[in-house]
Structure 1
Amino acid sequence: MALDGVHLLEHIQTPALGVVRGQVTFANAAAKSLLGAHIVSQDVRIAIRNPKAVSVILDERGGRAKIDGLSVGGSVWEIDCHVVGPGERLVTLYDLSVQASTARAHADFVANASHELRTPLAAVIGYVETLLTPKAGGDKATRERFLDIIRHEALRMQALVEDLMSLSRIEAVKHEVPSDDIDMATLAREVAGEFREGAEVTVTANCESAIIAGDRGQMAQVIRNLIDNARKYGKAGGLVTVSLEATATGWLAIAVKDEGEGIAPEHLPRLTERFYRANTSRSRAAGGTGLGLSIVKHIVERHRGRFDITTRLGEGTTASMMLPLRKD
């Protein structure tokens, strides 16, 4: 029979079935894991309780179709049925859940980015059109107030575009492990020195230098984003503390702590999602794009590190990361 050699598929990770005259005669380990070991010797209509899949398998021409409901969890599958002899079929199943999830995430990202740009753009257009009217355009106080709003909204769009481009650049090199020597203690002090207004920023370290293998520009962006977040959402005039601790196990712990009101626990799992905001109105008023922590997470992961956020209501928030120290 044409399916005599189908056992060669036993060790592949793709679920595969041999079907002869409507009965399952073979199932590899992946197929048994998906559908159950009991499917061998069963009628295919009982083994695969999916009318669309059964229709493809029993079709004289074979075929291909996207289906769901084969397993718990709602995965999307593609069934591919090849006619290999009279009444004989070779059926393979491909998990499309990753592709479907990626496509959905891409669509959501485009929709969110479009919405975030459309909001300030609508404000700019609206105020410009108002300024073009004789009454508003002729009043100096009104004109200056409207121009300030236009400038603010334009800067919002500029910040968003810059963060979108930054995220795109980071994702383009996410599989490339950076290798330059970076002294994170020195870098942290340099970045902290950029913030001369608002909350006081201090840097403490348990070591004179802390060398990691990394991308200096990206790591500066991480520290800058975290300090900027701590200043925006911390207590007005409060202290922002950046601490570095080189551990005996070969890791560098970096924490940025503010003295703000903290974040409700239900928001913590989603804070690094693109465009997610714990407080939408406050974030936009502070000039946040909703991408800062997502950028931080991507950069830290590219550096083979771990990123975490902890908070206590009324006491502040700490954003921390663990990075592998350069081995001598």
Structure 2
Amino acid sequence: MPDALLLPDLIGALPLPTLAIDRNERIVAMNPAAQDLLGAGLQGRNFVTGLRQPALVEAVEQCLSDRKPRMAPYLAGDAGRSTTYDVSLRHMENHGFLILSFQDVTQLAQAGQMRRDFVANVSHELRTPLTALMGFIETLSGPARDDPKARDRFLGIMADEAGRMNRLVGDLLSLSRVEADERVRPTVQTDVTEVLRTTLRNLTPLASDNEVTLKSDYGEAPMLILGDRDQLLQVFTNLVENAIKYGGSGQQVSITTETNLRDPALRGPAVRVMVQDQGPGIDALHLPRLTERFYRADNHRSRALGGTGLGLAIVKHILNRHRGRLRIASKLGQGSTFSVILPLDSEGN
């Protein structure tokens, strides 16, 4: 059985921050990871001077009293970054030492917070159209029952709100699918030129309705990559559709491409597809967060144009699967450029 002389060596061999407390409530051993976390010079001192946080101090006191195992939280902060630990407290029977080990669970805590935020955002996005629908149904069942003009107007609004919910559910399902496939790299050769042609053909009616001119410059030569054609079509459809809607009526949307044998973003052969609009631009403050779920630079305008706040998040996950990148450049009053960078298939080009 290990004795007190072996304790520092045993604790020092453990990868997690670990320390030992004796019956006299003093820290008798710490490994280097624990010293980095809590600070050096604590050995031989009362544990309260090193741990300090009430929840953990209380757990230590209870364990020293009843010798039952426990878990307690510990929060650490350094240079603006907070770290969450789960602390395991276990008593060494026959030796009187209490062993504390600190497990970093920051990513789990962040994932849990992301799930809670996601549910809250979805609930918020659905609540508005649902409330509108319920209100109009109540009105049509009562005061507007025999008012043909009001009925037609309310039914039109209800159709818009139902369409908004349908788009949101569709984007949620799409986001779920692309996240599930994100780690599975595509193996089928796909022609980016053909995908762009299909995208522009599909969006020409929308551009016409918005009095927007689509200008393309990518030639006829194939640009082959290993990619999922349907997902890439979704990427370019999303970007060009956004450019049409947010660029403004009477403006131009340009779609251009270029290939590089060594693209600085991918450090290898790549194709860049640039979608440029002549709209009002986006404040630099918003650029880093545009691919976050439900983040909108202009909430009111985005909702008015039918946006769900998920389009660029879907684009990001699809490009992650393709080992690609999304670059966004914009200045207020000077439009925006969304650049998709995809690795070329060197064997097919």
TM-score, normalised by the number of residues in structure 1: 0.91
Q: Which moved more, 1:260-269 or 1:65-74?
A: 65-74
- From 42, 61, 74, the equivalent of 1:39 is 42
Structure 1 pair 50/186, CA: closer, same or farther in 2 (3 Å)?
same
Instruction: Indicate if the aligned counterparts of 2:56 and 2:74 stay in contact, CA closer than 8 A.
Output: no
Instruction: Indicate if the aligned counterparts of 2:168 and 2:308 stay in contact, CA closer than 8 A.
Output: yes
Q: CA deviation at 1:89?
A: 2.4
Q: CA deviation at 1:5?
A: 6.1
For residues 217-236 of structure 1, the aligned pairs below 5 Å read 217-236=230-249
CA deviation string 1:221-280 (max 9, x = no partner): 111111111111002132111222111111221221111011122121221111111111
Structure 1 pair 244/13, CA: closer, same or farther in 2 (3 Å)?
farther
- From 162, 165, 186, the equivalent of 1:154 is 162
- From 310, 313, 331, the equivalent of 1:294 is 313
Task: Report what 1:143 is aligned to.
Answer: 151
Instruction: Indicate if the aligned counterparts of 1:179 and 1:214 stay in contact, CA closer than 8 A.
Output: yes
Task: Report what 2:119 is aligned to.
Answer: 110
Q: Does the alignment pair 1:66 with 2:72?
A: yes
SS at match of 1:202: strand
Structure 1 pair 206/35, CA: closer, same or farther in 2 (3 Å)?
farther
Amino acid at match of 1:254: V
Amino acid at match of 1:97: T
Instruction: Indicate if the aligned counterparts of 2:19 and 2:99 stay in contact, CA closer than 8 A.
Output: yes
Task: Report what 1:101 is aligned to.
Answer: 110
Q: CA deviation at 1:124?
A: 1.6
TM-score, normalised by the number of residues in structure 2: 0.86
- From 18, 21, 28, the equivalent of 1:19 is 21
Q: Does the alignment pair 1:305 with 2:319?
A: no
Task: Report what 2:294 is aligned to.
Answer: 275
For residues 250-265 of structure 1, the aligned pairs below 5 Å read 250-265=269-284
- From 89, 112, 119, the equivalent of 2:128 is 119
Structure 1 pair 307/146, CA: closer, same or farther in 2 (3 Å)?
same
Amino acid at match of 1:265: A
Task: Report what 2:139 is aligned to.
Answer: 130
Q: Does the alignment pair 1:179 with 2:203?
A: no
Amino acid at match of 1:53: L
Q: CA deviation at 1:206?
A: 6.8
Q: CA deviation at 1:8?
A: 5.2
Q: Which moved more, 1:258-267 or 1:236-245?
A: 236-245
Unaligned runs of 5+ in 2: 263-268
Q: Tell me how far apart the structure 1 counterparts of residues 251 and 156 of structure 2 sit (CA, whole Å).
A: 28
Q: CA deviation at 1:99?
A: 1.5
Q: CA deviation at 1:162?
A: 0.0
CA deviation string 1:10-48 (max 9, x = no partner): 465422223344333433332232223433444322232
Unaligned runs of 5+ in 1: none
Identity %: 38
Amino acid at match of 2:337: T
* RMSD of equivalent CA atoms: 2.2
Q: Which moved more, 1:197-206 or 1:249-258?
A: 197-206
